[in-house]
Every structure is written in C-alpha cells, then in structure tokens.
Structure 1
Amino acid sequence: MINYLKSERYRLLRKKSLHITSLVCLLLLVAVATVLYYSQKVDPNFPYGTSRFYYSNIIGGGGFIIIVSFLFNFSLTGKDTDVLKNVVSFGISRNTIFWSKLILTLRYFLLLSVIGIALMIGLGETLLTSDGQSAKDFLIALVNMLPIILSAFFTIHSLKLLKVGDVYIFIVMLLVFVFSGDLLRILFRQVTSLNEVYKYTPDALLHDNLLHFMNHTVTFGYQYWITGVLLSSIVLLIGVTKFAKQTID
C-alpha cells in the first residue's frame, strides 16, 4: 500500500487542476476580504465590513465547499479511473485503491482548508472590524461543520469510484445536502414521532449553525457529529463494498 500511495501522491502533485483549484480558492478569500475592506473605507456606514460577516461566507458556504471537495476528488477519481484495470492486474487490491485515493485527496483538501482558515482569520482580524469573539466563534462553527463536509467528501469519493455520472452525483448531493431537510419535513409532518427528524439533516444543521454564528450563540453541537459520522459510515461502507465487487473495464 505504501508504494501505491507514493505513486498516487506523485500523480496527484503533478495535477495542474489541483494547484489551480487551490490557488483560486485562496484568491477568492483574499478578494472577498479586500472588497469588504475597501467598501468600508469608502462608506464608514457600510454594515458588512466586519470579520463576522466575512467568516459567515464560509459558515454559510457549504455548497461552495462541497464543489471544492468534488474538484479535489476528481484529481484521482476522474480520468485516472481509466487505468484501474492495469493497477488491479499488477496485484493492487481494490481496498488499497479505494483507501489510498481517499487518504491522499482528503489530506490535501484538509491542508488547503487549514491554510484557508488561517488566511481568513489573519485577514478578518487585521483588515476588518472585529468584535473580539468572532474568530473563536468561527472556529467553533467550523468544528460543527467538519463532520458534515467530510461526509459530503466521502460521498463524492465513493460515487466517483463507482463510476456514477457527474450529473447523478450532483443530484445526489442536492438531495442529501441541500434539500433533505425540506423533503423530510414534508414527508413526516403528519407523523408525530418523526416530525422533528428533519432537524438532523445536513442542510438543516448547517443552516442552524450559521444562524447561531451570526447571533453570537454558537456552541459545539454533538448533533452535527452524529449526522456526519452516520452518513460517512454509510457511504464508506457502501462504497468500499460495491467497489470490491465492481467490474473494472
């Protein structure tokens, strides 16, 4: 597995798309902070030149983060899957392939996330008006988001390796991470014992996390981790099991 990891790492680092995606993400963070900073300079009454509003773009930007997750996953699960037949023929197990690609893409995704968070806090606390608590609240809100974002990352990884089309992956991501709360609320609203289930869906939790962050009331929530870990376990189990039996052309 170590040798396969090294070869995959070499191929990953040679992907121009990975570096372009990383650079664009960081530049967007700088651009947003710059726009807010100069808007505040031009208009002293500009209400959005605060670090809390700046951070809210990420706390409320789950969809953007999921798109970045897709692009990172695509680095090793896109056209590279065309050579899997050769890899398997050399005796590399399917489990090794599944977990190696996941570990590598996740590692660089998390590295970019850490760099982006550090950059945001640096810009937010130096260029924008800070209330002294926004950076701490930002980190707490990110901890709440983490398991749900990871579950989205794992879902994309599993679906890509199972050769599910990008359009269908997009539909699945919308249903699970954008509309699941509304769908379950409508489905179970007449069932007393289940009419609160929607509150534990990814989109409802992310929305709740944003509201608490903006209201200065954000705290660590176990419910985010229950939902995230449950989703992650399900998609990884299905992914690795199906991939082990999948015919590779």
Structure 2
Amino acid sequence: MINYVKSEHYRLLRKKGLYFTSLACFLLIAAAAFLLYYFGETEPNFPYSTSKFFYSNVISGGAFIIIVGFIFNFALTGKDMSLIKQSVSFGISRNVIFWSKLILTFSYFLLTCVVGIVFMIVLGENLLNSDHQSVSNYLIACANMAPLVLSGFFLTHTLKMMKVGDVYVIILLLFIYGFSSNLLRLLFRPFTGLSELYKYAPSTMLNDNLMNFIENDIVQFDYKFLVAGIVISLLALLLGANRFSNQNID
C-alpha cells in the first residue's frame, strides 16, 4: 500500500493542472481584493470596499469551490484511471486504490482551501475597511459551508471512480449544490408534510449561510450543515467503495 501511495503521490505532483488551478484561484482572490481597494480609494461613495463584502464572495461561491474540487480530484481520476487495471494485476487491492486516490487529492484540495482562507483574511484586513467581527463571522460561515463543500468533493470522487462522465458529474454537482432547492420546493409544494423539505437541500443551506453572513452582525455555527455534510459524504463514500470493488475494469 505504501509503495502505491508513493507512486500516486509522485504522479500527482507532476500534474501541472493542479498548480495552474491553485495559482488561478489565488490570483482571482488577489485581483478581487485590489479591485475593491482601488475603487474604494478612487470613488468616494463606493460601498463595497469592505472586508465583509470581499469575504461574501467566498461564502456565496460554494458551488464554484466544489467545481474547483472536481478539478483537483480529476488529477488522479482522469486519464490515470486507465492504469488501474495494471495496478490490480500487480496485486493492489481496489480498496487501496479507491482510498489512496481520495486521500491524496483531498489533502491538496484542503490545503489549498486553508491557504486561500488565510490569504483572503490577510488581504481583507490590510486593504479593505473592516470591523471587529468580520474575521470571526467569516471563519464561522466557512465552517458552516465546509461540510457541504467537502461532501461535494467526496461525491465527485465516487462518481469519477464509478466512471461517470465529466459532464454528467458537473451537471449533478451544480444541481445538488446550486439548484436543488427550487426543484424540491416545486415538487413537494402540494404535500403539507413535505412542503418544507427544500429547506434542507444543500443549495438552500448554502444560500441561508450567505444571507446570515451578510445580514447578521454575529454569525453562529449551525450543526445542520455538519449533519447534512456527513450524511452525504458517508452515503457517497460507502456506495462508491462498494461499487468500485465490484465493477469491471476495462
């Protein structure tokens, strides 16, 4: 197992797309901060040169962050999937393959997210107008959305290991984490006992988190985000590991 993890890690480090994606994310963060700073300095009545507005771009971008996670996951579940048959023939178990690819790509994705959060705080607190609650509210809002974002990463891994096409994976992710609340509200509106079910859709919860961050002076940690993220993650990973261990490898 250790040798396989090392070989996958070496392969991951040679993926240029991983570095380009990370760099692009950091450049977008920096560009947004400096644009807000520039307009705040040149336009007397510009209302958006605040750290709170700057941070809200991340809190509102849950679906976008999940798509970035898809790119990270793709590093070892894209063309590299053609090497799985060879690995199995050398005696590497399918469980080792499934979890090794997940752990490696997830580690780099998580590291990038943490660095991005710190980078935003440094820029937001030094370039933009800030209040004493902006950083703590931002961190709590990030903590709320993190379980859902991570569940999206785990769901992506499962779908990719099950050989679901990239387009279908992206469509499903955008639906679940971007538009699912609208469909659930429409479907269950006629049913009294289920009419409020849409409130527990990931897209609704992400939007509620954004509204709480924007409208409230103090943001509170909500355990329902954690529960929803854990449920989706466990279902995705257990299903994925079981299906991958039994599927044909061409």
Shorter-chain TM-score: what band?
over 0.9
Residue in 2 aligned with 1:219? 220
2:158 aligned with 1:158: yes
Any runs of at least 4 consecutive aligned residues in structure 1 with deviations exceeding 4 A, and if so which? none
TM-fit CA distance, 1:62: 1.1
Per-residue CA distance 1:191-241 (angstroms, 9 max, x = gap): 221111111110000000000000124210011111111111111111111
TM-fit CA distance, 1:171: 2.0
Secondary structure at the counterpart of residue 248 of structure 1: coil
Cα distance in structure 2, aligned partners of 1:144 and 1:127: 26
Aligned 1:39-118 pairs, distance under 5 A: 39-118=39-118
Cα distance in structure 1, aligned partners of 2:196 and 2:223: 16
Residue in 2 aligned with 1:35? 35
2:245 aligned with 1:248: no
Residue in 1 aligned with 2:24? 24
Residue in 2 aligned with 1:231? 232
Structure 1 vs Structure 2 CA RMSD: 0.9
- Name stretches of at least 5 consecutive residues in structure 2 with no aligned partner: none
Per-residue CA distance 1:1-20 (angstroms, 9 max, x = gap): 22211111111011111011
Cα distance in structure 1, aligned partners of 2:232 and 2:80: 26
Percent identity over paired residues: 57
Cα distance in structure 2, aligned partners of 1:79 and 1:128: 43
Residue in 1 aligned with 2:180? 180
TM-fit CA distance, 1:144: 0.3
Cα distance in structure 2, aligned partners of 1:115 and 1:148: 19
Per-residue CA distance 1:26-73 (angstroms, 9 max, x = gap): 111101001000010111211100000000000001122011101101
Residue in 1 aligned with 2:127? 127
Cα distance in structure 1, aligned partners of 2:68 and 2:202: 17
Check whether the contact 2:179–2:203 (CA below 8 A) recurs between aligned residues.
Answer: yes
- Name stretches of at least 5 consecutive residues in structure 1 with no aligned partner: none
Task: Work out the number of aligned pairs and report it.
Answer: 249
Check whether the contact 2:63–2:173 (CA below 8 A) recurs between aligned residues.
Answer: no
Greater CA deviation, 187-196 or 118-127? 187-196
Cα distance in structure 1, aligned partners of 2:7 and 2:27: 30
Residue in 2 aligned with 1:4? 4
Cα distance in structure 2, aligned partners of 1:116 and 1:138: 13
Per-residue CA distance 1:82-114 (angstroms, 9 max, x = gap): 111000101111110000000000000010111
TM-score under structure 2 length normalisation: 0.98
Secondary structure at the counterpart of residue 194 of structure 2: coil
TM-score under structure 1 length normalisation: 0.98
Check whether the contact 2:95–2:241 (CA below 8 A) recurs between aligned residues.
Answer: yes
